[in-house]
Amino acid sequence: MTSQTNLFNASRLQGIITYPITPFSANGEVDIKTLSVLIDQLINSGSHAIAPLGSTGESAYLNDEEWTEVAQASIKAVNKRLPVIVGVSDLTTQNAVKRAKIAEKAGADAVMVLPVSYWKLTPDEIFNHYAKIADAVSLPIMVYNNPATSGIDMSPELIVQLFKSIDNVTMVKESTGDIQRMHKIRLLANNELPFYNGSNPLALEAFAAGATGWCTAASNIISQWPLKLYQAIQNNDIDLARELFYKQLPLLEFILKGGLPTTIKAGLKLKGLPVGEPRKPLQALDEAGNKKLQTLLQTLETFS
Amino acid sequence: MTSQTNLFNASRLQGIITYPITPFSANGEVDIKTLSVLIDQLINSGSHAIAPLGSTGESAYLNDEEWTEVAQASIKAVNKRLPVIVGVSDLTTQNAVKRAKIAEKAGADAVMVLPVSYWKLTPDEIFNHYAKIADAVSLPIMVYNNPATSGIDMSPELIVQLFKSIDNVTMVKESTGDIQRMHKIRLLANNELPFYNGSNPLALEAFAAGATGWCTAASNIISQWPLKLYQAIQNNDIDLARELFYKQLPLLEFILKGGLPTTIKAGLKLKGLPVGEPRKPLQALDEAGNKKLQTLLQTLETFS
Amino acid sequence: MTSQTNLFNASRLQGIITYPITPFSANGEVDIKTLSVLIDQLINSGSHAIAPLGSTGESAYLNDEEWTEVAQASIKAVNKRLPVIVGVSDLTTQNAVKRAKIAEKAGADAVMVLPVSYWKLTPDEIFNHYAKIADAVSLPIMVYNNPATSGIDMSPELIVQLFKSIDNVTMVKESTGDIQRMHKIRLLANNELPFYNGSNPLALEAFAAGATGWCTAASNIISQWPLKLYQAIQNNDIDLARELFYKQLPLLEFILKGGLPTTIKAGLKLKGLPVGEPRKPLQALDEAGNKKLQTLLQTLETFS
Amino acid sequence: MTSQTNLFNASRLQGIITYPITPFSANGEVDIKTLSVLIDQLINSGSHAIAPLGSTGESAYLNDEEWTEVAQASIKAVNKRLPVIVGVSDLTTQNAVKRAKIAEKAGADAVMVLPVSYWKLTPDEIFNHYAKIADAVSLPIMVYNNPATSGIDMSPELIVQLFKSIDNVTMVKESTGDIQRMHKIRLLANNELPFYNGSNPLALEAFAAGATGWCTAASNIISQWPLKLYQAIQNNDIDLARELFYKQLPLLEFILKGGLPTTIKAGLKLKGLPVGEPRKPLQALDEAGNKKLQTLLQTLETFS
């Protein structure tokens, strides 16, 4: 809650925050060159910020060297054209701290932290995990709650406590898909803690409820649709936002249900940018899925 | 889906649909006189429709004679000033049919049906329950899904099938609180099946998602707030709707958590209309709850 | 916990407690004559107690007159050959009290009480519900926990509190199917509160954990199998109990999944005692279900 | 299902399979010397098999070098006195394969595989994960299902399919705590797939249901109690087994609820073998927890 970090949030990190996938070459190695091409595409098509090494970026499936390579290459590729928020999550506090430092040194504008679990964590253990990372860097930290992938569910009470107690915790990405969490965070924090939506099928209602931004992988393949929805909200036009939302909803549900790395990578290939397959045990989208995805993409092109 | 029933829906049943509680006298009997006073209040303060014998009306706790008395008295008290939709749910199909006929004869404009369970019902058993009731009356039927009270959760697929297969099933009240159900219903029914929101803390987002109305007991005690929220939505002003919603949200959460008959009856007493206690085993709101409720009510009066 | 009621429990209510279905005639009325025939069968085939008007007895689907008729006729049919425990549950406290009195007057040995919900009940509301019933009769009361049908889940802590605070609460039927509940009840009550298992597929492990009895509808159609399992446990022969359990398990799962009134009524008809259909909206078992059930029954006859 | 691996199962892997914790020195490094001391203790006190690098062994929190060091040191410390089953789980298939090969080369008797998730896996993805590992080694594989830590829940159907389709998948450790899973596995596999229980508070009932063994960390601190329970079951004495189980149950619940690395490490220190703290973000057991644990341990010493 320092003035500088608040300034950052207020002025820069809002709207459509895009999660690039991490491309792999045919032999399964990180493909930095294609990552640069993708990031250029995302910037040129209008995203408001770039968030490498999130869930979509298969961060959890990369080893330390690969993680560092992708962090540095992403920041370099963006080249200060947009804010970059880097996912630095790891199972151990020590390694999450290390990643946060690497991100800071490489020029990230903020870091995002998801408390990953094998053994469940107590609120106190989660708090200290964030406190340690916050101590190690001076960047703003986005708290990230996504129990479906991390196995840990942070209550609104805990999230707001992190915000109130740790200076550089300045924003939260809520991905439970439960709109009541956003309500609660807003009420508990007196509307001082910006919240971002990470659940694609909740995009319309999260904006209705006052979300500052929508963190999404959908922009990788249908960049204009999330932007138009956000613009309608900015114009206080819920009728148009609703119309735009329902058109893109079938695709949003499809990519959520199929797993973001799996479906987004398939979509990018369909749109002409091969980025390889997700890392095993994750498998490439099967033929039926590809056909369904192509139909969904074509429908949206017709509409736009 | 007959032209007449569609006409009804399109022109009349929208906005704020209020669920009156059922007043009891000191000795626990139904208090018809106070019911009339309450219904007058609800109409005078602007509700768009009256829905007696819903969950809030303790329908499940009344015997057959009491149920009939309340149905007839409510319709008479409204006296055609507003549409009346009567809850006719019962555990057995036979008794639900009987209640639907009584409601029709008494002059109801529509009936609402919740499939109550002791033993879980298969989709086929639910379908036939609705079909039997629909055969027995010519009124429009509102399908009502509220697994938290009924123990039965109807999927959007089943709800839309009821709508497509049974002529006088023309609308649905969704009370799961899961906004994705409304999305699904709208997509599956090509936006031809009007859906109403029955979950108070979802009021803002349900309207954002396209709900035709908000079925609420809150109007019994804060009548202007739901109306103002609905008006803002009608004016396509999501910014104002959001502001109005967050102000009333703490009260909406309180009445949901405390049980609607319990909290609404306490609220009416606090506002000067004693309506008795809910029926045992339900108990009157305790002292701490009454203090909290009074504070919430006072805050809203200050705001308005 | 009076000496008399403890005496009752210790000496008489243990083993296989059978829940008779409630037969209906072709026109849907209660068929008392067939009920007597069924009860004779259950007694002659070795059940240790008879429990009319439980979940299996479709108690929830009967009106007050029918309920009274079945209670009185069941007690009369047993004619003191075995203990009779009558289910007196109802949504309102007033009516549950009334039913307990009727059962006592008719000669029941004990009553079983499930706190049914429409609106959720607080622990205090549940406690007072039991206290009121306990005040009205001098019979032993079996607390019955079955959230899947009743919508209310009583914690082991609450159940043991009922036992410790209310004199004639002397036993508990646990039907969640969660063996840890039984562990907890036993530890919290220092092994002084007899617990009975109401989840058929948990029969083996509930006995292993120390259950005093198994409350089951399976005895209606495979009377010898539950008895043999119980006898093996009495003989401290877990190896034989396991063998007997796995043989009857497919049938136990089938009747649970299909709903007890539905499947048991079908089974009785297959075995030569037509008892009518369950009451609508419940439907008779379909043809595929009947074939499956017949196969399961034949397999058990082969084994025995 | 090769004859050799069946031979292994039938003759050797049964009874109490103990999961050693992984000791850390004061500076947080793996403490191999103390690990050897601990393993000697476990063998001398009667465990039937040793299972390093399971959930209790904080396998998920070790880097690759540490994991390899612990695997090799554990096998060496056991020195063929007992069977050793090594946990080789990892998020990527590639790394799980690598670990399985290391375990085989180091002399493991079997490997245990938990399919860990970040993104949810389809049944097909899980199957191929196991198939790849099975192809890479000739050791018997124990399928491990523990959704609470791994985020993936394998159905009995999938588990039995793995057993039937992949030769060296020969056993399963079920840790959901749901006894019905064991029933289903036994029925689906015609009692040919040995199942082991991994949920401590289910120890009694899992044996009643036919479990071949109990995989537990409790043996680290109360070695005689699990052994005595197993012996009673071997003697077909369920009455004694029940008595022994209820005495140790409070401790079993405590270690489960507090997290196994956290509570077992505290218990070992209380018993005179300091093994360091769990790795951050996991924290050492707090003072209240230590007092409670000490009381539980003392109670069991009194009993024995």
d(CA B33, CA B25): 10
What's residue C304's pLDDT? 59
Computed over its alpha carbons, how large is the radius of gyration of chain C?
18
From chain D, the residues in CB contact with A217 under 8 A are none
Chains touching B (at least 3 CB pairs under 8 A) are A, C
What's residue B302's pLDDT? 76
For B241-277, write each residue's pLDDT tens digit: 999 999 999 999 999 999 999 999 999 999 999 999 9
Among A251, A256, A265, A263, smallest CA distance to A175 is for A256
Residue A52, preceding peptide bond in cis (omega within 30° of 0): no
B116-128 b/e (C-beta count within 10 Å ≥ 16 → b): bbbbebeeebbbb
d(CA D58, CA C173): 40
Residues A115, D260: C-beta atoms closer than 8 Å: no
Choosing from C19, C98, C130, C173, which is the catalytic residue?
C173
What's residue C302's pLDDT? 76
> Closest chain A residue to D284 measured between Cα atoms?
A125
Catalytic annotation on A265? no
State which amino acid sits at residue A2: T
What percent of chain D lies above the pLDDT cut of 90? 94
d(CA A282, CA A289): 14
The mean predicted confidence, pLDDT, of chain C is 95
From chain A, the residues in CB contact with B179 under 8 A are 179, 202, 205
For C140-159, write each residue's pLDDT tens digit: 999 999 999 999 999 999 99
For A15-38, write each residue's pLDDT tens digit: 999 999 999 999 999 999 999 999
Residue D7 has pLDDT above 90, yes or no: no
Residue B201, preceding peptide bond in cis (omega within 30° of 0): no
The first and second tokens of residue B103, run together, are: 């409601």
Q: Chain D residues contacting A, CB < 8 Å? A: 28, 55, 60-61, 91-94, 115-122, 124-126, 128-129, 132, 148-151, 259-262, 278-283
Q: How far is CA B44 from the centre of its chain?
A: 18
> D touches C (3+ CB pairs < 8 Å)?
yes
Residue C64 has pLDDT above 80, yes or no: yes
C146-159 b/e (C-beta count within 10 Å ≥ 16 → b): bebbbbbbbebebb
Residue A6 has pLDDT above 60, yes or no: no
Residues C238, D242: C-beta atoms closer than 8 Å: no
Residues D205, C205: C-beta atoms closer than 8 Å: yes
For B46-70, write each residue's pLDDT tens digit: 999 999 999 999 999 999 999 999 9
ipTM value for the complex: 0.95
When scoring B118, B135, B264 by the number of chain C Cβ atoms within 10 A, the one with the most, hence best to mutate, is B118
Residues C236, D241: C-beta atoms closer than 8 Å: no
What's residue A12's pLDDT? 73
What's residue C9's pLDDT? 42
Q: Chain C residues contacting B, CB < 8 Å? A: 28, 55, 60-61, 91-94, 115-122, 124-126, 128-129, 132, 148-151, 259-262, 278-283
Q: Chain C residues contacting D, CB < 8 Å? A: 177, 179-180, 183, 186-187, 191, 201-202, 204-205, 208-210, 233, 236-239, 241-242, 246, 249-250
Residue D255 has pLDDT above 60, yes or no: yes
Domain boundaries, chain D: 3-245
Residues B208, A238: C-beta atoms closer than 8 Å: yes
d(CA C191, CA D82): 39
What's residue B12's pLDDT? 73
Residue D1 has pLDDT above 60, yes or no: no
D282 versus A8: which is more confidently predicted?
A: D282
What's residue B2's pLDDT? 41
d(CA C284, CA C278): 6
Query: What 3-state class would DSSP assign to A195?
Result: strand
d(CA C50, CA A13): 69
For D49-95, write each residue's pLDDT tens digit: 999 999 999 999 999 999 999 999 999 999 999 999 999 999 999 99
What's residue D304's pLDDT? 59
For D186-225, write each residue's pLDDT tens digit: 999 999 999 999 999 999 999 999 999 999 999 999 999 9
Residues D208, C242: C-beta atoms closer than 8 Å: yes
Query: Which residues, listed in sequence order, are joined to residue C144 by a DSSP beta bridge?
Result: C173
For A64-118, write each residue's pLDDT tens digit: 999 999 999 999 999 999 999 999 999 999 999 999 999 999 999 999 999 999 9
State which amino acid sits at residue B154: M
> Closest chain C residue to B257 measured between Cα atoms?
C120
Q: What amino acid positions of B are annotated as catalytic residues? A: 144, 173
* DSSP code string of D67-82: HHHHHHHHHHHHTTSS
Catalytic annotation on D230? no
> Closest chain A residue to B233 measured between Cα atoms?
A238
Residue D107 has pLDDT above 80, yes or no: yes
Among D118, D83, D81, smallest CA distance to D103 is for D83
d(CA C196, CA C9): 11
What's residue D302's pLDDT? 75
CB-nearest to A205 from B209, B249, B250 is B209
Q: C242 and C204 in contact (C-beta within 8 Å)?
A: yes
From chain A, the residues in CB contact with B210 under 8 A are 242, 246
The mean predicted confidence, pLDDT, of chain D is 95
Q: List alpha helices for chain A, DSSP H.
A: 3-11, 32-44, 64-78, 93-106, 123-136, 147-150, 156-165, 179-188, 203-208, 219-222, 224-234, 238-258, 260-270, 287-303
From chain B, the residues in CB contact with C129 under 8 A are 280-281
The fold for domain D3-245 equals TIM Barrel (3.20.20)
What percent of chain B lies above the pLDDT cut of 70? 96
When scoring C205, C212, C240 by the number of chain D Cβ atoms within 10 A, the one with the most, hence best to mutate, is C205
d(CA D221, CA C87): 47
Residues A202, B179: C-beta atoms closer than 8 Å: yes
Region C238-258: what's the mean pLDDT?
A: 98
Region D25-37: what's the mean pLDDT?
A: 97
Please give, rounded to a whole number of angstroms, the shortest distance from the CA of D71 to a CA of chain C. Answer: 35
> Closest chain C residue to B283 measured between Cα atoms?
C125
For A196-241, write each residue's pLDDT tens digit: 999 999 999 999 999 999 999 999 999 999 999 999 999 999 999 9
d(CA B110, CA C101): 40
From chain D, the residues in CB contact with C197 under 8 A are none
Among B134, B139, B132, B130, smallest CA distance to B103 is for B139
Choosing from A19, A130, A144, A230, which is the catalytic residue?
A144
When scoring B193, B197, B205, B252 by the number of chain A Cβ atoms within 10 A, the one with the most, hence best to mutate, is B205
Among D28, D289, D263, D10, smallest CA distance to D140 is for D10
Chains touching A (at least 3 CB pairs under 8 A) are B, D
For A139-155, write each residue's pLDDT tens digit: 999 999 999 999 999 99
DSSP element (H, E) containing A169 = strand A169-174
DSSP element (H, E) containing D257 = helix D238-258
* CATH number, span C3-237: 3.20.20.70
Choosing from D130, D144, D196, D230, which is the catalytic residue?
D144
Region D107-121: what's the mean pLDDT?
A: 96
CB-nearest to D259 from A91, A119, A126 is A119
Q: List alpha helices for A23-155, DSSP H.
A: 32-44, 64-78, 93-106, 123-136, 147-150
Region C58-77: what's the mean pLDDT?
A: 98
Q: How confident is the model at residue B304 (pLDDT cuts 50, 70, 90)?
A: low
What's residue D4's pLDDT? 47
What's residue A1's pLDDT? 38
What's residue A302's pLDDT? 76
d(CA A10, CA C151): 47
For B193-250, write each residue's pLDDT tens digit: 999 999 999 999 999 999 999 999 999 999 999 999 999 999 999 999 999 999 999 9
Residues B281, C121: C-beta atoms closer than 8 Å: yes
From chain A, the residues in CB contact with B241 under 8 A are 208, 238
